[in-house]
Amino acid sequence: MENLLNHVLIGIAVLFMFSASIFVHEFGHFLVARWRRMKIEEFAIGCGPKIFSRTRNGILYSLRVSPIPIGGFVKLPQMVTSEAVEGKSEPVPPAPPLSKIVVAFAGPLMNAIFAFAIATVIYFVGLPVLVNPSVIGHVDPESPEGKMGIRQGDKIVAINGKPVSSWEEVNTITALAPTNVFQVTIERDGATTNYVLTARAHESVGLKWLNLDPYQRPVVGAVEPGMPAEQAGLKKGDHFLSFDGVPVISQEHLIELVKKSEGKLSEVVVEREGQRLTLHVTPKYDPKTQRGRMGIVFAGGVYQVVRPGPLPWEQFASVWNKTIGALVAVMHSSKTGVRASDFSGPVGILAAMAVETKTDYRLALKFLVLLNVSLAFLNLLPVPVLDGGHILLAVIEALWRRPLNPRIVEYATNVFGILIISFVLYVTFFDFRRLPLLKAMFDRDVHVQEVATPPSGLSTNPAPAESVR
Q: What is the pLDDT of residue 406?
A: 75
DSSP H stretches of helix in 401-448: 406-443
The values of phi and psi at residue 199, to 5°, are -80, 160
Tens-digit pLDDT profile for residues 306-319: 888 889 998 888 88
Which carries the bigger pLDDT value, residue 16 or residue 69?
A: 16
Buried b (16+ CB within 10 A) or exposed e, 144-171: ebbeeebeeebbbebbeeeebbbbebbb
Average pLDDT taken over every residue of the chain: 80
158 to 129, 196, 213: CA distances (angstroms):
18, 12, 16
Tens-digit pLDDT profile for residues 28-53: 999 999 998 888 888 888 777 888 88
Answer yes or no: is pLDDT of 82 > 60. Answer: no
Answer yes or no: is pLDDT of 465 > 50. Answer: no
Q: What is the pLDDT of residue 383?
A: 87
Q: What is the pLDDT of residue 85?
A: 45
Answer yes or no: is pLDDT of 236 > 70. Answer: yes
Q: What is the pLDDT of residue 186?
A: 93
Answer yes or no: is pLDDT of 228 > 80. Answer: yes
Q: Does the active-site annotation cover 466?
A: no
Q: Which 3 state secondary structure label does DSSP give 136?
A: strand
Give residue 24's pLDDT band: very low, low, confident or very high (50, 70, 90): very high
Q: Which 3 state secondary structure label does DSSP give 66?
A: coil
Half-sphere exposure in the Cβ direction for 468 (13 Å, CA): 11
Please indicate, yes or no, whether the overall pTM of this predicted structure exceeds 0.85: no
* Contact (Cβ atoms closer than 8 angstroms) between residue 180 and residue 201: yes
DSSP class of 135: B
Q: What is the pLDDT of residue 463?
A: 36
DSSP H stretches of helix in 261-360: 312-331, 333-336, 346-359
Which carries the bigger pLDDT value, residue 197 or residue 468?
A: 197
Pairing, β 42-45 against β 59-64: parallel
Q: What is the pLDDT of residue 457?
A: 40
Q: What is the pLDDT of residue 71?
A: 65
H/E run at residue 127: strand 127-130
Q: How many CB atoms lie within 10 A of CB 124?
A: 9
**What Rg do the C-alpha atoms of the chain give, in angstroms?**
25
Give residue 468's pLDDT band: very low, low, confident or very high (50, 70, 90): very low
Tens-digit pLDDT profile for residues 248-301: 866 767 877 888 888 889 999 998 888 889 999 998 877 765 677 888 867 656
* Mean pLDDT in residue range 308-333: 83
* Mean pLDDT in residue range 399-406: 81
Q: How many CB atoms lie within 10 A of CB 400?
A: 10
Buried b (16+ CB within 10 A) or exposed e, 321-358: eebebbbebbeeeeebbbeeebbbbbbbbbbbbbbbbb
State what percent of residues in the chain have pLDDT above 90: 18
Q: What is the pLDDT of residue 108?
A: 94
Q: What is the pLDDT of residue 138?
A: 75
Q: How many CB atoms lie within 10 A of CB 202?
A: 16
Which carries the bigger pLDDT value, residue 323 or residue 156?
A: 156
Most confident segment among 62-76, 102-116, 345-359:
102-116
When mean pLDDT is compared across 33-37, 87-91, 325-329, the lowest value belongs to 87-91
What is the Cα–Cα distance from 455 to 35, expressed in whole angstroms?
Answer: 48
Q: What is the pLDDT of residue 441?
A: 63
Q: What is the pLDDT of residue 155?
A: 92
Spot the catalytic one: 26, 145, 271, 466. 26
* Contact (Cβ atoms closer than 8 angstroms) between residue 95 and residue 38: yes
User: Could you give all domains of the chain from N- to C-terminal order, each with its CATH number?
Assistant: 2-119+366-430 (no CATH), 133-214 (2.30.42.10), 220-299 (2.30.42.10)
What is the Cα–Cα distance from 12 to 246, expressed in whole angstroms?
Answer: 38
State what percent of residues in the chain have pLDDT above 70: 82
* Mean pLDDT in residue range 43-71: 79
Nearest to 80 by CA among 395, 336, 322: 395
Give residue 122's pLDDT band: very low, low, confident or very high (50, 70, 90): very high
- E strands, 46-126, are 50-56, 59-64, 72-75
H/E run at residue 275: strand 275-281
Answer yes or no: is pLDDT of 203 > 70. Answer: no
What is the Cα–Cα distance from 449 to 454, expressed in whole angstroms?
Answer: 12
Residues sharing a CB contact under 8 Å with residue 35, sequence separation 6 or more, in sequence order:
none
> Environment class of residue 292 by beta-carbon count within 10 Å: exposed (0-12), middle (13-18) or buried (19+)?
buried
